[in-house]
Amino acid sequence: MRIYIIILFAFFTAQAHSQHSLIIASGFSTDANRKYGSPVTFTHIPLSLQWLPTKFGSRVFPVIKIDYLLPLKKTTIDSAYTLNTAMSNEISIRKTYRPFIFNLNTGMRFMVYQRGKNFFYADALLTAICHQYIKVSYENYDTGNYEILNPDISVRKTSIGVGLGLAYRRLLSSRSSVLCMLNIQSPPFTSSKVDRYEVSYRFVAPIQFTIGYGFSYKKTK
């Protein structure tokens, strides 16, 4: 992790005098890593900030992305049981998932095709620090009498991941452009189990479709 940050810092310093671009993007994200049999697919609204230390028209250039994926709440039902004969032996309890995701990506963007003001790019060699916090909560129920079978728990972990992407860019002027991007990111390379306790979900592998606005600026010393 420390090496990753040092490389990132070195990369920033090396690019200190060139023309830079910033892209702000948002859209929709779904999960490519849903656990088999899981009743819910995690979806998000991604908020992405991309920094390209290059001018428009370069064929290969680095990209640094910060993605925050705002979770869309998902609910499902778990069963709880009791031996108390004065009560129903089984009840349904509403369970809510909120999977918070933060990714810091670095990688290379390759221009694969250009025609006039239209550019097509492929993002490759993207590596990321991925932080995921899958927050699980249950609605209020009688904990004195009922026990939830195989209750889920919240899991918070940080690890490394990798990603790929495609981007279409159309220049609006010499300094601004609009973009459509499709990205897929691996889940963090770590298990969602906590001390061997199995949960009903896996970490999210987000497939993001985003639309963004990019602008370039001249970096001065």
Partner 1 sequence: MRKGIIQIILLHLSLILFSACTQRRNFFEDSDDPGLSRLTSRGYDIVTLYLNDSAYINLYEHHNLGGSSNSKVAIEKILTNSNKDTLSISWKIQYADETDPPVGFYNLSLLIPVPTTFNKSDFQNWEGKRLPYDVPLNVTLRLNRNNSSFNAPDTGTASIYFLKINPHENQNSTGTYLFSGLFEGSAGNNRITKGRFDFFVDKGSLNF
d(CA 184, CA 163): 6
d(CA 169, CA 167): 6
Q: Which of 45, 4, 194, 188 is nearest to 103 (CA)?
A: 188
> By C-beta, is 81 or 209 nearer to partner 1?
81
Query: Smallest gap, in angstroms, from Cβ of residue 37 to partner 1?
Result: 14
> By C-beta, is 101 or 134 nearer to partner 1?
134
Interacting residue ranges for partner 1, rule: CB under 8 A: 81-83, 85, 89, 143, 147-151, 195-198
Token pair for 174? 């010499």
Query: Smallest gap, in angstroms, from Cβ of residue 140 to partner 1?
Result: 12
> By C-beta, is 11 or 197 nearer to partner 1?
197
> By C-beta, is 79 or 118 nearer to partner 1?
79
Query: Smallest gap, in angstroms, from Cβ of residue 81 to partner 1?
Result: 6
Query: Smallest gap, in angstroms, from Cβ of residue 40 to partner 1?
Result: 20
d(CA 171, CA 35): 40
DSSP alpha helix (H) spans, the chain:
2-14
